[in-house]
Amino acid sequence: MGTAERKEREKESRKESIIDAAQKVFFEKGLLLATMEEIAEQAELAKGTLYLYYKSKEDLYLTVMIRGLNILCAMFESIIAEPMPFIATLVRLIDAYTTFYEHHKNYFRMLHFFQMPQFHKQVSDEMKEAGRQVDSRLWNIAIAQLKRGIREGKLRSDIDPAEMAIIFWSNTTTLLLRIDSQLDFWKDRMNVDLQHTLKVSQTLMLESVLTEEGKKEYREFIYSEMRNR
């Protein structure tokens, strides 16, 4: 008889529906202002029940965040699944991260809120490991592509691909974070358009790691992209 299996499924879907509720509340209020009471209400459960499924508020938060990481991961995976010249893939990957920010701002914010080590006190080890898993997947995709670029002679071979990945990622991340929270400050007080700064920064980075051949392909790519509009 499949009772045990059904129960198992019900338990899973209960877990999911708690996450749905938590996501709604976290998106609206952020980690600090969200309350377990409110999440419980949203999930139509009592507060105590939440703790049968998740160890702490932070655990809930991390679980929602992992959803976001998975979306980003899926975006990356669908890009590398399409066979394309290296430069096209690389540019798509870089753009995908910006697109992720634009389409999933709430997840993006959660992601980077959680980077702060200060929060990790309440997170269970399983959750941390789960997060690291998705994280590794992302890095591996990026690093594999950069290795391909080196192999094909498009990227400088004297720079470690993992280092390149970190540099690209860091660069884009901080600028997106600033765009998210300080866009007006920079526009009004410093007369700087951060969106433009992001573009400049990415171009500078790219040009500094491409070989001559890579640069040529990059210029051709940009040119053909422009004609396609």
Partner DNA sequence: TACAGAAACTGACTTCAAGTCATTCATTCA
Partner DNA sequence: TGAATGAATGACTTGAAGTCAGTTTCTGTA
Residues that bind a second copy (CB under 8 A): 30-33, 113, 115-119, 121, 136, 139, 159-160, 162-163, 166-167, 170-171, 173-175, 177-178, 181, 186, 189-192, 194, 196-197, 200-201, 204-205, 207-209
Q: Could you give the count of Cα atoms lying within 13 Å of 202 in the half-sphere of its Cβ?
A: 20
Tell whether residue 14 is a contact of DNA (CB under 7 A): yes
Provide the minimum distance between the beta carbon of 33 and DNA in the complex, in angstroms, as a whole number: 8
Our CA angle for 82, 161, 215, nearest 5°, is: 70
The answer to the question of residue 49 lying near DNA (CB under 7 A) is yes
Query: Stretches 45-53, 81-89, 108-116, 207-215: which one binds DNA (CB under 7 A)?
Result: 45-53
When the beta carbons of 66 and 206 are compared against DNA, the nearer one is 66
What is the distance between the alpha carbons of residues 118 and 78, in angstroms, rounded to a whole number? 34
Helix spans in 82-160 (H) = 86-103, 105-113, 125-151
Q: How far is the CB of 117 from DNA (least distance, A)?
A: 17
Which residues have CB under 8 Å from 63's CB, separation 6+? 19, 22, 54, 127, 130
Residue 147 tokens read as: 């290795």
Least distance between DNA and beta carbon 134 (Å): 23
Q: 115 or 157, CB closer to a second copy?
A: 115
Q: What is the dihedral of CA 9, 16, 93, 170, to 10 degrees?
A: -130
Distance between CA atoms of 154 and 212, rounded to whole angstroms? Answer: 8
CB of 5 to a second copy, least distance (A): 36
Q: Does 128 bind DNA (CB under 7 A)?
A: no
When binding is defined by CB under 7 A, the residue of 22, 26, 42, 58 that contacts DNA is 58
Q: Which amino acid is at 191?
A: N
Binding letters toward DNA, positions 106-125, x by CB under 7 A: ----------------x---
In this structure, are residues 123 and 59 in contact, taking their beta carbons and an 8 Å threshold?
yes
Told to check if 51 binds DNA by CB under 7 A, we report yes
Which of these, 103, 77, 99, lies nearest to 89 by C-alpha position? Answer: 77
Q: Which residues bind DNA (CB under 7 A)?
A: 1, 3-4, 6-7, 11, 14, 34-37, 44-49, 51-52, 56-58, 122
